[in-house]
Amino acid sequence: MTATSAPLPPPSSADEAAELAARYGLRQVGVRPSLRQYVRETWVRRDFARYLATSRAYAENQDTYLGQLWSVLNPALNAAVYVLLFGFLLDTKRGMNDVVAFIVVGTFLYKFFQDCVNGGANSIAKNLSLVRALHFPRAILPISNVMANLTSLVPSLGVMAAFILLSYFIPGTIWGGVSWRWVLIVPAIGLLYVFSLGVAFIVARLVAQLPDLQNILGFVLRLGMYASGVIFSIERYVGALNNDALLHVMSYQPVAIYLDIARQSLLDEPAIPLDWTKWVWGAGWAVVFLVLGFVYFWRAEARYGRE
């Protein structure tokens, strides 16, 4: 006969129960872990976040005839509409060398930010069954949403570059060509990714606690598009108002900064010179929003799926 270990006697006190739980890696359900432990658990499950991101990016258009082509066609058609409307019909050029490329960069990257925010806002509500069935850091959900949008953005960058190069064939457009600055689009998008992740954490908690905010978010994002210089130059239009305070606020708000440094990387516009001060601002906004957003999301960890 094989020897079997005798069952452990029941704990005689709360302290003894806590000691046994700690010994066997158990944790009380519905209790927020420490921030350090939460960061560690999120990092350990990074492969889970990556799997959720790739599966979500693949499933997004799988029921359509064109499938994954829509991840490229959507921003391309969006850019084409804004170029036609604002670049040609309303003539927002105002002295720029290449208004088409200006609008294309703005619309492609703002759509990425917009999708990250919307995805973050829905990350808890759309995964309630997963939240209630499995134990994992809920931060994985907004992280995977932003990663999925980055996965969709990468092939779109080729289309964006094609738009920029083709725009030089438009009569009256000054040829800028491809320069070494094009490689700067990689850190520019990296900073935008980090900032978008921080915002996704914030809206994920807000919408999880106040679902009505989801109905307002679309209006906020639409206002943000016009306030960030997506389709027109802030310096030229707001600067014409002779209000230096308003110009400074709109030029240095985060989304405007990221669009500006992306345009510094890809466009040959005398009005948008390479300005490392803007890059420092972009790095600062990214770090601030990532840290504050993560901590803000973590503080409600025990309540997700229970409210």
Per-residue pLDDT reduced to its tens digit, 287-307? 999 999 999 999 988 888 775
What is the C-alpha separation between 140 and 46, in angstroms, rounded?
8
Per-residue pLDDT reduced to its tens digit, 124-170? 988 888 888 888 899 999 999 999 999 888 888 888 888 888 877 76
Task: Report which of residues 118 and 303 the model is more confident about.
Answer: 118
On whether the CB atoms of residues 109 and 225 are closer than 8 A, the answer is no
What pLDDT was estimated at residue 109? 94
Q: Is 44 exposed, middle or buried (0-12, 13-18, 19+ CB in 10 A)?
A: exposed
Q: Domain coordinates of the chain in residue numbers?
A: 47-59+67-303
What pLDDT was estimated at residue 289? 97
In Å, the largest CA–CA distance within the chain is 93
**pTM listed for this prediction:** 0.83
Task: Read off the tokens for 167.
Answer: 């725009």
Residue 1: pLDDT band (50, 70, 90) is very low
What pLDDT was estimated at residue 68? 61
Task: Report which of residues 202 and 1 the model is more confident about.
Answer: 202
Per-residue pLDDT reduced to its tens digit, 189-230? 999 999 999 999 999 999 999 988 988 999 999 999 888 888
Per-residue pLDDT reduced to its tens digit, 17-70? 556 555 655 555 557 788 999 999 999 999 989 888 887 777 665 555 455 676
Per-residue pLDDT reduced to its tens digit, 231-277? 888 877 776 677 788 888 888 999 999 999 999 999 887 778 888 99
What pLDDT was estimated at residue 240? 66
What pLDDT was estimated at residue 38? 92
On whether the CB atoms of residues 117 and 199 are closer than 8 A, the answer is yes
What is the C-alpha separation between 199 and 204, in angstroms, rounded?
8
Per-residue pLDDT reduced to its tens digit, 68-97? 676 677 777 777 777 777 666 555 555 567
> Which of 178, 159, 200 lies closest to 265 in space, CA to CA?
178
Give the rounded distance of the alpha carbon of 123 from its chain centre: 13
